[in-house]
Structure 1
Amino acid sequence: MGEKKKFSMLSCILTVICVVFVAEAAAPVAAIGNSQYFWWIFMIILFLLPYGLISSEMGTTYDNGGGLYDWVSAAYGHRMGARVSWYYWINFPLWTASLAVMFPDLYAVITGKELNTIAAIIIELAFVWIVALIARTPTADAVWILNGSAAIKVILAIGVGIFGVMGIAKNGMANPITFSNLLPSFDLDSLSFISVIIFNMLGFEVICTMSDDMEDPKKQIPQAIVIGGIAIAAIYMFSAFGIGAAIPTSEVSTDSGMIDAFMLLTGKEGGIFISAVAVLFGLTLFGNMISWSTGVHEGAAAAAENGDMPAIFAKRDPKNNMPVGGIMTTAVVASIVVVAAPFIPNQDLFWSFFALNLVMFLMSYIPVFPGFLKLRKEDPDTERPFRVPGSGIGLTLLAYIPMILIIVSIIFTAVPLSFDPDTLSATLPITIGAIIFIVLGEIIIRMKGKE
């Protein structure tokens, strides 16, 4: 056998961008209005920066390939690590199904034709299983997919920003910026976007699970996180400005996405250009899932190998050591969701599945930040190739502020904060689903019986 392929520094940075950067992010957040700029800057400083620094230290210090599972287990033991692994995994098939149901709409944009239910399900299942088959390929061998997806995401996001600037030059500011409208209103609608923005900033730990594919992970991981994080923040801000300044806020909704943004900016709902955007966007969805698959399933495999998750997750391909048990389990669960979705009488089913995935996903991060402080105190002698600067109250705030933001975002996503029928119908399914998955996870953990 030849020498195993290794990630270059550029590939590490592009992988961070592929994993963390979400091309869909700018348009829904622009629905807030000009206060979106406050929220982007606020979250970049108080969440993205500390989360990136902590991930760099934890990922280069506790680098057994399990990501969050390794970090939390080191701080709080196997039982808490098992919970994190379960929450981190269960979100993934729900997220996969959520993206799968977008493909019939992409088909309609590209061809101008609507699909019937059966044809739509077939296309959705094709997405699920193509992702699963590609995800079985070692990450370093599929790096061209990750790099290509990252490049397409950046091109689309910068394109939105450029079209927005062109719109401003031609028609002026659609939403004039004043001091008062830059400030957040702190109402329920605005605060509900916290979870969306945080979701669009998570994923730095995924690059840590790819350390075996790197030339020098102790050096590459922190550099890729810092450089990738700066690039992601700049791209988010530019694309958000383009949409927010060129399109009246009343025309942008929380359901708007990248393709909707291009349609609004160009004034066209079809044609070769919009079809090309739809094709490119579809390709980014494959890159998203393939890049995340490694982090999610390596974490689940590490937990299963330690007896903290069902044994199926420990099954690996004997030829390339990829965690095929978890990958195939994800595909099966996502397929069940995709097939069942059209027959469930709920018009907001897509949002319910996505929001449920979001809640479970965010829950897996809560112990990471206090765990970082705990390990600093109780395990000070372990070599830390990268060390977060600071100490005392400064370091404590650096860890606890992101954790508090995550908890707040979970509350605004999963807890009904008013009792009108619309709110209850939209939120209660998420609340009930989260409770079911938490209880199911506890049953699995108790059956394993490890402390």
Structure 2
Amino acid sequence: MTKPEGKKKFRMIDAVLSVICVVFVAEAAAPVAAIGNSQYFWWIFLMIGFLVPYGLIASELGTTYNGEGGLYDWVRKAFGARMGARVSWYYWINFPLWMASLAVIFPEMISLISGWEVSTIVGIIIELIFIWIVTLIAFFPVSDSVWILNSAAVIKVFLALIVGVLGIYGAITHGVANEYTVQSLLPSFDVKSLSFVSVILFNFLGFEVITTMADDMENPKKQIPQAIIIGGLVIAAIYIFSAFGIGVAIPTAEISTSSGLIESLQLLTGNPTGIFISVMTILFLLTLFGNMISWSMGVNSVAAYAADNGDMPSVFKKRRKNGIPFGAPMMNGLVASFVVIIAPFIPNEDLFWSFFALNLVMFLLAYVPVFPAFLKLRKIDPKMERPFKVAGNKVFLRLLAYVPMSLIIIALVFIAVPMDSSSSTLKATLPITIGAVVFILIGELIIKVKRIGYLSIEEEGINYEKIKD
């Protein structure tokens, strides 16, 4: 694919802010706060057990194999086309599901600050507007939207700091909604809390998206590792600070996964409406656009690239004259639109969490083979130049790969598998389980059809050679 000429270049600050914009998602702060005070243990544990090894592995793979395929390329090179196709499907389908989960927040936020009850039809129209604005912006180069990425990153940090600062003020002046004792800070193994721990993993994933922007960078071999390391540390600190503010304001059992951040500001300021809350809500909603725009660029590139290799449906191959994917964004918009239209018929009161959790399942599935791919590529491609290479012996490298992979698998179980047969658990979890199974089967069907087509073409080529002979 020919790259557009005369593009603006990412500076180091752009790269770091892009990592923050991509990886730090403000809407995930509330589900994490719903874990309770034991979230602090899980943050520290997962920073050491997941963020550090994942960051090191992503840095090596991203600077060694820095094509636009990202993790799809890594897995395909290591394990072949079938596994690469699965990764590309899981990685892509999570995006329209995530877009749908963010879309359903908009009507709720409007009702929260205005007191106006948004009807189902009006709510769907608002959701569709959000989806198609994001879809249209995705038709343009990443560097044209760098101001959106940087602005969204700054707004996210600002919101997190506001919540954290108000949390400290509230704790000093009014006390806290949740008691901070040694016992409460220990890890909680409550099933509901453990399902939200997966959101921390989600909050730590996405660094590889920055590798798909390598061609827009001045010095990608240097900027990618630095952006991941600096961005990762900043992101972890921001999350912990904002989660503290939410925990000060709202009892854990009452935290809404969708509107918890804004509700915490309402409680901390003692004002459920007013200019301040309205401005904060608008800024929060703007960050949702930033999330989608930053992720769409990486996801669409991977999907189009996989389609070029015959591992995704042909519609994903379509590009505009400037080389930017057209088919992938259109499919994003169509799938997300379909999901929000059928949403009123889904038997789950927390639609945001239903769609967000389903997005989590598909997203995490895409990362499972990345870690063993790191080890396999070290073995089968030892002569490849590695500008950034993780140091360590074989035992250390295996631990570095298999510990985070195991954590992802455990998280998947707690998100998508009902842990008891109570009606409330089944009502909350079964839609996620069924949705995950359906999308996995669709992916396998696509792989089978594409494989049959590939074998037919290959067979025709062989027959043609025989006729020539």
TM-score between both structures, scaled by the size of structure 2: 0.92
The superposition leaves residues 142-170 of structure 1 with CA deviations (integer Å, 9 ceiling, x where unpaired) of 10000000000000001110001111221
2:122 equivalent to 1:119: yes
Q: Secondary structure at the match of 1:364?
A: helix
2:87 equivalent to 1:84: yes
Question: What is the letter of the counterpart of residue 384 of structure 1?
Answer: R
1:333: how far off? 1.1
1:247: how far off? 4.4
1:344: how far off? 4.1
1:377: how far off? 1.7
Moved more, 117-126 or 345-354: 345-354
2:299 maps to what in 1? 296
1:241: how far off? 2.5
Q: Secondary structure at the match of 2:192?
A: helix
2:273 equivalent to 1:263: no
Q: 2:409 aligns with which of 402, 407, 410?
A: 407
* 1:366/1:406 contact within 8 Å kept: yes
2:419 equivalent to 1:417: yes
1:237 maps to what in 2? 240
Q: 2:140 aligns with which of 137, 140, 164?
A: 137
1:353: how far off? 2.2
CA distance in 2, matches of 1:356, 1:436: 11
1:149 maps to what in 2? 152
C-alpha change, 1:174 and 1:345, in structure 2 (3 Å) is: closer
* 1:165/1:246 contact within 8 Å kept: no
**Which runs of no fewer than 5 residues in structure 1 stay unpaired?**
none
CA distance in 2, matches of 1:347, 1:161: 29
C-alpha change, 1:407 and 1:169, in structure 2 (3 Å) is: same
1:38-437 correspondence to structure 2 within 5 Å: 38-245=41-248, 247-318=250-321, 320-437=322-439
* 1:95/1:357 contact within 8 Å kept: yes
Question: What is the letter of the counterpart of residue 136 of structure 1?
Answer: F
* 2:32/2:197 contact within 8 Å kept: no
The superposition leaves residues 108-159 of structure 1 with CA deviations (integer Å, 9 ceiling, x where unpaired) of 2343322222221111111010001111110011100000000000000011
CA distance in 1, matches of 2:443, 2:332: 16
Q: Secondary structure at the match of 1:209?
A: helix
> Aligned-pair RMSD on alpha carbons?
1.7
Q: Secondary structure at the match of 1:192?
A: helix
1:26: how far off? 2.9
Moved more, 186-195 or 118-127: 186-195
The superposition leaves residues 188-231 of structure 1 with CA deviations (integer Å, 9 ceiling, x where unpaired) of 12322221111121110111111111111111111111111111
Q: Secondary structure at the match of 1:87?
A: helix
* 2:354/2:431 contact within 8 Å kept: yes
Task: Give aligned-pair identity as a percent.
Answer: 66
1:375: how far off? 0.8
* 1:161/1:238 contact within 8 Å kept: yes
Question: What is the letter of the counterpart of residue 149 of structure 1?
Answer: A
C-alpha change, 1:194 and 1:127, in structure 2 (3 Å) is: same
CA distance in 1, matches of 2:338, 2:46: 35
The superposition leaves residues 427-447 of structure 1 with CA deviations (integer Å, 9 ceiling, x where unpaired) of 122112111111111111111
1:250: how far off? 4.6
* 1:25/1:257 contact within 8 Å kept: no
Structure showing greater Rg: 2
CA distance in 2, matches of 1:351, 1:241: 21
* 1:362/1:410 contact within 8 Å kept: yes
Q: Secondary structure at the match of 1:423?
A: helix
CA distance in 2, matches of 1:248, 1:349: 21
Q: Secondary structure at the match of 1:381?
A: coil
Question: What is the letter of the counterpart of residue 112 of structure 2?
Answer: V
1:176: how far off? 4.0
Moved more, 195-204 or 126-135: 195-204
Moved more, 343-352 or 290-299: 343-352
Moved more, 52-61 or 170-179: 170-179
* 1:247/1:265 contact within 8 Å kept: no
C-alpha change, 1:344 and 1:414, in structure 2 (3 Å) is: closer
* 1:64/1:70 contact within 8 Å kept: yes
* 2:348/2:428 contact within 8 Å kept: no
* 1:158/1:239 contact within 8 Å kept: yes
The superposition leaves residues 224-249 of structure 1 with CA deviations (integer Å, 9 ceiling, x where unpaired) of 11111111011112222233345443
* 2:102/2:352 contact within 8 Å kept: no
1:261: how far off? 1.8
1:394: how far off? 1.6
1:256: how far off? 4.7
C-alpha change, 1:392 and 1:295, in structure 2 (3 Å) is: same
* 1:109/1:278 contact within 8 Å kept: no
* 2:114/2:273 contact within 8 Å kept: no
Question: What is the letter of the counterpart of residue 220 of structure 1?
Answer: Q
Question: What is the letter of the counterpart of residue 431 of structure 2?
Answer: P
1:7: how far off? 0.5
